[in-house]
Structure 1
């Protein structure tokens, strides 16, 4: 495990998957990350690369050849190299090798950079294409935050409050994890989604076409909260394992296959085409309070 820290917060990252496993507000010593209880879900904050979500039949086609990838891709199971480290920041690096090229025929350099700024953690995804051909990919985050955050509160006390009013319509997922063709409205002209265990009994809430770029996880029963900024991510997932004490706020550049997708990776919804020698960067932020 690797730790970065300043006078406000401390973050612990596992080089396997470059996964954030702990985020503590110093002073009250308040942990914000899910503990990873394997009875519910053993992860903490896996990275999703080179796909987000699932593929139809776990298969995609590139240049008329079939390839298989499991849900959310392989990066979360790979050990990243530590490329650079300071007291308040660290950069992890994953590059293509024989094992990745066998299932994903693209050269890449994928960096995850964690940076502390006062009471904020910035998590940046940086993708470089070293080849002379286009690189097709998706990338996203899957951080799980502890709910309830503080003693004396319970799960149903918490709200997700977005910075814009929305008609929140979820895109349902099939049991295979594919996106249905029509959304279902769950809330009209509101900033708030109240948390409950039942909210996730039919899998994740998957959102598109929203205006918000920030959300606060909070309860009126405590002064402690977190703000999550996701500007530049066109898809958002909100999820918890059944009856588990956490909520994932998932910023995505990419989305699972739709039920009617033709499985051509170049025609996949949300897929990013990175030109030869090109670069890509997105950052999400957590502000602790």
Structure 2
């Protein structure tokens, strides 16, 4: 049995449930179309900082924020389009804007579709007309994020996109990684290192990008929680970013379609022709063992 309920607190929150798998998803359209919580068998899969969430002036730490039209940051938060400079803050603006709910489905799954359209505020920093449509589907132990990006401008639209899941963990030293890459780049120093399956947990912050990925799925096994997470992503996702901060009970494994500063360098940037749409998906499966 599948159901969708609505809870009204500081923000309207949609609660998707799949009774057979004891799976539950919470979505906050007004706060960037955010997936704030996902639980399975009564256990949280995602980390969530409720205190930061309550302050609309702060970026959210937790859940699954949406990254668009850039991933990461730009030098001086600046990019150039047709000889004009624009300012875009880290990860873009989609995670900060209110999305609209357009469809709810509770037949053989629980599904919620949200839409975000360009407006005067977005055109001031990103001079294109577009529509984003995200459909969150909950079925069994799997969460799927179906995405559609449509260029409604009279010119080619360049962008990158990504999702930024915060996974809950109590002991990072018990994490085991299966990532389809042989090396990663430190996003702070630019240095490239071989990847041998783990990280140095004594560092205050780990922020690395796997830019030469050879497959479309990655797995993390949390031996402390007895939890296996599998992340699967379609085209055009070309980069996996791993990020965590010492002393915090989360790690992030983020599929990006282009690396940091792609809007300036053009590396792996997606370009949609006028009227063209791109459809893709990211899927998360969780299994307790």
Task: Tell whether the structures are fold-level matches, with TM greater than 0.5.
Answer: yes
Q: Deviations over 1:206-265 (max 9, x none)?
A: 11112132222223455432221124311000111232111111000122128xxxxxx4
Q: 1:287 to 1:101 in 2, by over 3 A?
A: same
> 1:33-112 maps to which residues of 2 (within 5 A)?
33-36=46-49, 42-87=61-106, 88-112=110-134
Please report the RMSD computed on the Cα atoms of aligned residues, expressed in angstroms. Answer: 2.2
Quote the offset at 1:124 in angstroms: 2.0
Unaligned stretches of 5+ in structure 2?
1-12, 53-58
Taking the aligned partners of 2:231 and 2:162, their CA distance within structure 1 comes to 14
Task: Give, in angstroms, the shift of residue 267 of structure 1.
Answer: 4.2
Higher relative contact order (CA 8 A, sep 6+): 1
Q: Is the 1:41–1:241 contact (alpha carbons within 8 Å) kept by the matching residues of 2? A: no
**1:161 paired to 2:178:** yes
Instruction: Give, in whole Å, the separation in 2 of the partners of 1:137 and 1:115.
Output: 25
1:143 aligned onto 2:165: yes
Report if the CA contact (8 A) 1:197-1:244 is conserved: no
Give me the whole-angstrom Cα distance separating, in 2, the residues matched to 1:183 and 1:249: 18
1:1-289 alignment, distance < 5 Å = 1-7=13-19, 8=21, 9-15=23-29, 16-26=31-41, 29-36=42-49, 42-87=61-106, 88-148=110-170, 154-162=171-179, 164=180, 166-167=181-182, 169-174=183-188, 180=190, 182-187=191-196, 192-193=197-198, 197-198=201-202, 201-220=204-223, 223-232=226-235, 233-257=237-261, 265=263, 267-289=265-287
For the 8 Å contact 2:205–2:244, the answer to whether it is kept is no
Residue ranges of structure 1 left out of the alignment (5+ in a row):
149-153, 259-264
Distance in 2 (alpha carbons) for counterparts of 1:101 and 1:86: 32
Secondary structure of the 2:227 match is coil
Which one has the bigger strand percentage?
2
TM-aligned CA deviation for residue 184 of structure 1: 2.2
Cα 1:120/1:223, change in 2 over 3 Å: same
CA displacement at 1:271 relative to structure 2: 1.4
The DSSP-based 3-state class of the residue aligned with 2:69 is: coil
> Helix, strand or coil for the counterpart of 1:211?
coil
